[in-house]
């Protein structure tokens, strides 16, 4: 994620170097930095383990669960008679050979996603200290790394990599000259780092030390086993309790778990929290790809929303009704979910909700007040450009509600109202079932506020049943496969929709772009005649989504316009139409029709990716929790 702090906001400000060298950054995180006048942010994953199992195998399993955070390179370090490291370029999920690491009870690992800097074995984490007494992996960016590196070079330190991470290692070595205590050297070094960083360190004495400022860090605990990670998903099968490490805190294990305040060095109390994510499986379960499996899980996650007690909304509904302004906010697919949630609030609850994109909300800062409320859906709960807005909103005493799929996330912890998607782990970088669960939640919220929560729940139950039947029918898949093969040869694909389906075609557009790498454009049906009609000609594919609602006539009118100009029309609807060249039938589920309609669009994107031979679960150039923006 990336963002630019507006004038007057001092949080996370630091003196930035004017220019970074072209291969300077190891793993980027959720804090802005300047590279040739641009701002970059990214996310990696860290993992650590202490316990009775073979550490390399546990760390490997953890990193595979973290791979949605980055998959250009990986590394695992374990302690036997000495620290051993195995690290390589490529996705750790593609690993099909032995790790060549001895058995051990302690280890750390890292999976990397770099938007800038060489993707090489030597740049992969972890990085050794000079004497190999410890190694370190990082999720973050050291904004002042160049100044620190220059100072260390003057003191005679040598650098082997192009990363900013190695600067942290050498800085710790410098601090060790004044103290024999490694954790104290880590604490002192961490205080000199600008930007958001989380580091994890394995020592030759059998300790793991981790420190956090910004990038997430959670600790899992179970039967004397300790797990350190960027998220709870990575150790969900093994731990039933977590400790969320807050910004400015360091944690280490030396026979028992210790948390200290980085600034003062004083010990801090911590609280164990139960998690119910442990039963979630990360397994394709016979499906060819995680994406297909996760689409098939959509009916289940809708039922999870239905089965949550209505009392969860009680205090929240009061806050929504009392709010002067209600904003929904998200980025990427979560931004589309936020927009659909706002739609349902307007249509069913008669709430004047407005959706905004997390990466483009600067004009709203001066408008936020303590009488407002923000609803933020997110898969990870760590989306940086949304967190930036929430940080400012919190200072202005705006009430915050989050809808997140990751327990213990930053977004959840800073919210006044905390809701979970309960979608289970979503491994494919292209979000499917989490999006479905979030807009189903928005629909139910709108119905509950309107006093028709029971009707809303019944409608979602029917939707879940119809969706399951639709997904189980192989004929539906065969039809979409044929259309995917045809669309895979296209240069451009257009999508039309209106009213409840406007956000659905926007999300369909995102999925097609992510999966096929083909340009797609989602157009409000009413806007067609204002500009996009100039692009309609013979053979241009247009996917149209039509429901039995007040907008049906307008949408079919747009279909006739593109058809008259020779476009090839693919209709997604519960009823066919003479202007459809190809027809994808879907069940009519009434008020929840839009949620039903996303399924064939997700399947279309999936089968296009398969047809084109793309890496379905890991599309090129993107990671699940990452965006990149540019500022000149």
Q: What is the pLDDT of residues 400-434, one digit of tens each?
A: 999 998 877 888 889 999 998 888 878 888 999 99
User: Hunting for tokens 């839009």 — which residue is that?
Assistant: 594
Both tokens of 199, joined, read 């580091």
DSSP code per residue over 204-243: TTS-EEEEEESS--EEEEETTEEEEESSGGGGTTT-SEEE
Please tell me the least confidently modeled range out of 66-70, 254-258, 292-296, 339-343.
Answer: 66-70
- Report d(CA 242, CA 221) in Å as an integer: 6
pLDDT value, residue 69 = 64
Task: Choose, from 44, 135, 149, 399, the residue flagged as catalytic.
Answer: 44
| pLDDT value of residue 6 | 29
Q: Which residue has the higher pLDDT, 255 or 467?
A: 467
pLDDT at 117: 54
Catalytic annotation on 27?
no
As a whole number, mean pLDDT of residues 137-143 equals 84
Confidence of residue 66 (pLDDT cuts 50, 70, 90): confident
- Residue 140 lies in domain: 34-274
Same-domain status, 145 and 248: yes
Burial of 247 (0-12, 13-18, 19+ CB in 10 A): middle
Which pLDDT value is given to residue 427?
83
Contacts of 485 (CB under 8 A, 6+ apart): 607, 611
Q: What is the reported pLDDT for 276?
A: 61
Q: What CATH number does residue 151 fall under?
A: 3.60.20.10
**Res. 620 pLDDT band, cuts 50 70 90:** confident
Look at residue 42 and tell me whether its pLDDT is greater than 80: no
- Does residue 585 lie within any of the structural domains? yes
State whether 186 and 328 are in the same domain. Answer: no
Give the model's pLDDT for residue 364: 62
* Beta strands at 106-112 and 127-128: parallel, antiparallel or unpaired: unpaired
The mean per-residue pLDDT over the stretch 137-164 comes to 87
What confidence tier does 20 reach under pLDDT thresholds 50, 70, 90? very low
Q: Which of 240, 274, 308 lies at the terminal end of a domain, its last residue?
A: 274
Q: What is the pLDDT of residue 256?
A: 86
Is pLDDT above 80 for 563?
Answer: yes
Weakest mean pLDDT among 32-36, 126-130, 219-223, 352-356: 32-36
Structural domain includes residue 14: no
Residue that the structure tokens 């039967």 belong to: 223
Asked if 352 and 387 sit in the same domain, the reply is yes
How confident is the model at residue 383, as a pLDDT?
80
Q: How far is CA 615 from CA 341, 513, 571, 608, in A?
A: 31, 13, 27, 11
The mean-pLDDT minimum among 96-105, 173-182, 207-216, 351-360 falls in 96-105
Q: For residue 282, how many other CB atoms are within 10 A of its CB?
A: 18
587 confidence band (pLDDT: 50, 70, 90):
very high
Q: Which residues contact 314 (CB under 8 A, 6 or more apart)?
A: none
Decide: 405 and 412 in contact? Cβ < 8 Å.
Answer: no
User: Residue 395 sits in a domain of what CATH number?
Assistant: 3.40.50.10490
Q: What is the tens place of the pLDDT at every residue in 273-282?
A: 887 654 455 6
Q: Which residues pair with 325 in a beta bridge?
A: none
For 577-597, what is the mean pLDDT? 96
321 and 270 share one domain: no
What pLDDT shows up at residue 9?
Answer: 27
Q: Kindly state whether residues 395 and 496 are assigned to the same domain.
A: no
Tell me the per-residue pLDDT of 440-463, one tens digit each, with 9 for 90 and over.
999 999 999 999 999 999 999 999
* pLDDT value of position 96: 61
Does 18 qualify as catalytic in the annotation?
A: no
Contact 227, 215 (CB under 8 A): no
Residues 96, 210, single domain; the answer is yes
Same domain, 322 and 458: yes
The string of DSSP codes covering 414-437 is T-SEEEE-------SSS--HHHHH
Mean pLDDT of 476-482: 97
For residue 507, what is the enclosing H or E element?
helix 502-516
- Predicted confidence band of residue 318 (pLDDT cuts 50, 70, 90): very high
Q: Is residue 396 part of a domain?
A: yes
Considering the domain architecture, whether residues 349 and 426 belong to the same structural domain is answered as: yes
pLDDT (tens digit per residue) in 79-99: 998 999 888 887 766 676 667
Domain assignment present for 623:
no
93 lies in some domain: yes
Q: What is the rounded radius of gyration, in angstroms, for the C-alpha atoms of the chain?
A: 25
Would you state the pLDDT for residue 569?
A: 96
Closest CA to 406 of 389, 417, 419: 419
Asked if residue 573 is part of any domain, the answer here is: yes
Q: Give the residue from 280, 193, 288, 295 showing the smallest Cα distance to 231.
A: 280
Which tens digit of pLDDT belongs to each residue from 225-279?
A: 999 988 887 887 788 888 888 889 999 988 889 999 999 999 999 988 887 654 4
Q: Is residue 362 located within the same domain as residue 397?
A: yes
Q: Does some domain include residue 212?
A: yes
Q: Which of 149, 399, 506, 624 is catalytic?
A: 624
Q: pLDDT at residue 360 above 90?
A: no
Of 448, 472, 496, the residue at which a domain comes to its end is 472
Q: Which of 433, 448, 472 is the last residue of a domain?
A: 472
DSSP state of 75: E
pTM across the whole model: 0.76
Residues 62 and 153 in one domain: yes
Are the CB atoms for 245 and 200 separated by under 8 Å?
A: no
> Per the domain annotation, does 180 fall within a domain?
yes
Q: How many domains does the chain have?
A: 3
Q: Are 387 and 412 in contact (CB under 8 A)?
A: no
Residue 31 — very low, low, confident or very high, per pLDDT cuts 50/70/90?
very low
Query: What is the pLDDT of the chain when averaged over all its residues?
Result: 84
Q: Are residues 113 and 162 in the same domain?
A: yes
Q: Same domain, yes or no, for 67 and 191? A: yes
Determine the straight-line distance between the first and last CA of the chain, rounded to whole angstroms: 17
């Amino acid at each position: 994620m990336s963002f630019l702090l507006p004038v007057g906001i001092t949080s996370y400000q630091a003196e930035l170097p004017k220019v970074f060298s072209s291969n300077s950054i190891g793993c980027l995180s959720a804090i802005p930095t300047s590279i040739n006048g641009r701002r970059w942010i990214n996310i990696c994953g860290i993992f650590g383990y202490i316990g009775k199992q073979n550490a390399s195998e546990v760390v490997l399993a953890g990193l595979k669960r973290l791979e949605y955070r980055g998959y250009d390179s990986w590394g695992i370090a374990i302690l036997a008679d000495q620290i051993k490291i195995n690290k390589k370029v490529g996705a750790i999920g593609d690993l099909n050979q032995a790790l060549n690491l001895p058995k051990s009870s302690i280890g750390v690992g890292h999976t990397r996603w770099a938007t800038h800097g060489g993707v090489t074995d030597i740049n992969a984490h972890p990085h050794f200290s000079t004497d190999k007494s410890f190694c370190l992996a990082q999720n973050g960016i050291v904004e002042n790394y160049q100044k620190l590196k220059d100072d260390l070079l003057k003191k005679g330190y040598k650098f082997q990599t192009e990363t900013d991470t190695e600067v942290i290692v050498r800085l710790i070595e410098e601090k060790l000259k004044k103290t024999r205590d490694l954790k104290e050297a880590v604490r002192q070094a961490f205080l000199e780092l600008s930007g958001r960083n989380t580091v994890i360190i394995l020592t030759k004495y059998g300790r793991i030390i981790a420190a956090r400022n910004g990038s997430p860090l959670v600790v899992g605990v179970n039967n004397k086993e300790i797990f350190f990670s960027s998220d709870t998903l990575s150790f969900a099968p093994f731990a039933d309790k977590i400790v969320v490490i807050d910004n400015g805190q360091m944690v280490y294990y030396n026979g028992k778990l210790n948390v200290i305040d980085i600034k003062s060095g004083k010990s801090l109390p911590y609280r164990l929290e139960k998690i119910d994510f442990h039963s979630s499986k990360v397994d394709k379960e016979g499906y060819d790809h995680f994406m297909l499996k996760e689409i098939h899980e959509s009916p289940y996650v809708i039922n999870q929303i239905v089965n949550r007690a209505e009392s969860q909304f009680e205090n929240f509904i009061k806050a929504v009704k009392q709010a002067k302004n209600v904003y929904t906010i998200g980025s990427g697919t979560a931004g589309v979910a936020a927009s659909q949630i706002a739609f349902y609030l307007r249509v069913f609850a008669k709430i004047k909700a407005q959706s905004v994109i997390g990466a483009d909300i600067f004009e709203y800062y001066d408008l936020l007040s303590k009488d407002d409320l923000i609803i933020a859906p997110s898969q990870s709960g760590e989306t940086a450009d949304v967190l930036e807005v929430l940080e400012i909103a919190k200072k202005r005493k705006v009430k915050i509600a989050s809808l997140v799929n990751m327990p213990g996330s930053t977004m959840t912890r800073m919210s006044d109202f905390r809701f979970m998607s309960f979608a289970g782990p979503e491994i494919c970088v292209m979000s499917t079932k989490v999006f479905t669960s979030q807009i189903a939640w928005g629909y139910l919220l709108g119905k509950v506020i309107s006093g028709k929560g029971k009707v809303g729940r019944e409608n979602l139950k029917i939707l879940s049943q119809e969706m399951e039947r639709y997904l189980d029918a192989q004929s539906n898949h065969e039809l979409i496969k044929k259309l995917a093969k045809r669309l895979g040869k296209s240069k451009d694909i257009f999508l039309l929709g209106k009213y409840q389906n406007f956000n659905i075609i926007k999300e369909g557009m995102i999925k097609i772009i992510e999966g096929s790498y083909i340009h797609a454009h989602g157009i409000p049906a009413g806007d067609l005649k204002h500009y996009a009609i100039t692009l309609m000609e013979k053979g241009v594919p247009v996917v149209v989504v039509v429901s039995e609602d007040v907008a049906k006539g307008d949408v079919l009118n747009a279909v006739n316009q593109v058809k008259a100009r020779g476009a090839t029309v693919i209709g997604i609807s519960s009823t066919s139409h003479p202007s459809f060249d190809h027809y994808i039938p879907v069940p009519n589920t009434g008020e929840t029709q839009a949620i039903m309609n996303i399924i064939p669009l997700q399947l279309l994107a999936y089968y296009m990716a398969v047809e084109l031979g793309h890496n379905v679960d890991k599309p090129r150039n993107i990671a699940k929790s990452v965006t990149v923006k540019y500022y000149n």
